[in-house]
Structure 1
C-alpha cells in the first residue's frame, strides 16, 4: 500500500474545523481547483456526491467512513483509469489545538500499483499541504 500524508496543528477545536468538511460548499475555501461539488444527503457514511476539479471530468465520490469531529474517508473512482483514490481526513484534539491530517491512498482495480500509478498519486496529493494551510488560515481567522 502506498500513501502520502501531511499534517499540522490548528488553533481551533475539532468541531470548528469539522464545518470545513461537513458543509461541502466550504470546500471552495480550501480546494483551489474545485469547480463543482454536491452531496446527495447528509455528511454520513455511505453518502455519495459529485466533484469536478479543474481539467478533470466530473467524478462520483463516496463517504466510506464518517466519525463526526474526528475523521472521514472518501473514495473516488477515476473514470476509465482502473483506479480509485481514497482520502482520509483526521482531527486529533491536542490541548487547545487540533492536529489535522490528510492522507491519500490509491487502489488499483487489477494488478499491483506501478511506478506511474505512484507518480499519479503524488500529483493528486501535491496541493494537499496548501489545502490544509488554507483550512488553518480560514478557521483561525473566524
Structure 2
C-alpha cells in the first residue's frame, strides 16, 4: 500500500475585469514583478518563462529562494515549486487564470506544502508563503486592468 502524501494547502481567488491574456503577459514579464508584488525584490529566470525553467527570487529582508516553473500554460497560468530538502518539504504555488462567462478573469493562487514533514512544517511555512496573497493579487489585478485600459 502506497503511503499517503501529507499536504497543507491554502487558496485565495479574486475576480478582475482584465483578460487572462493580459494577466499572463504580466506573469511572463518577471523583471517587472517588483512593481506590483511587494513580496518580490528581484526575480531572475535561467531561461524563458516555460515549464522546467529554474530561477531565483529575492524577497525583501528574507534572502533568496531557488525555484522551478513546474507548469506554464499560455493564458492559463503557471505553477512554481521550491524544494526545501533539509526540511523534507516542497512548496508549490499554482497561479490559475479562469475566464469568466460575463468577461474578465478569476485569478486563483493555491499554495501547498507537501512531503514527509508537511504535517509538521506546513502550518509553519504555509502562512508565511500565503500571507500576502490578497495584497499581491489585488496589485496584479489593478496592473492588468490599467494596462488593458491603456490598450
User: What TM-score do you get using the length of structure 1 for normalisation?
Assistant: 0.89
Shift of 1:55: 2.4
Distance 1:12 1:57 in 2: 32
Deviations 1:71-113 (A, max 9, x none): 21000124743322110000011132101111111123x3451
Name structure 2 gaps, 5 residues minimum. 1-6
**Corresponding residue for residue 97 of structure 1:** 104
- Which secondary structure does the structure 1 equivalent of 2:87 belong to? coil
Does the CA contact (< 8 Å) of 1:87 and 1:102 recur in 2?
Answer: yes
Structure with more helix by fraction:
2
Distance change >3 Å, CA 85–CA 92, structure 1 → 2: same
**Corresponding residue for residue 48 of structure 2:** 42
Does the CA contact (< 8 Å) of 1:59 and 1:78 recur in 2?
Answer: no
Distance 1:112 1:23 in 2: 31
Q: Specify which of 4, 11, 30 is matched with residue 17 of structure 2.
A: 11
- Which secondary structure does the structure 1 equivalent of 2:41 belong to? strand
Kindly tell me the number of residue pairs found equivalent between the two proteins.
140
Residue range with higher mean Cα deviation, 73-82 or 28-37: 73-82
TM superposition outliers: structure 1 runs of 4+ over 3 Å: 78-82
User: What TM-score do you get using the length of structure 2 for normalisation?
Assistant: 0.84
Name structure 1 gaps, 5 residues minimum. none
Distance 1:79 1:2 in 2: 17
Distance 1:65 1:33 in 2: 21
Is the radius of gyration larger for structure 1 or structure 2?
Answer: 2
- Which secondary structure does the structure 1 equivalent of 2:21 belong to? helix
Shift of 1:65: 0.7
Shift of 1:8: 1.1
**Corresponding residue for residue 121 of structure 1:** 126
- Which secondary structure does the structure 2 equivalent of 1:2 belong to? strand
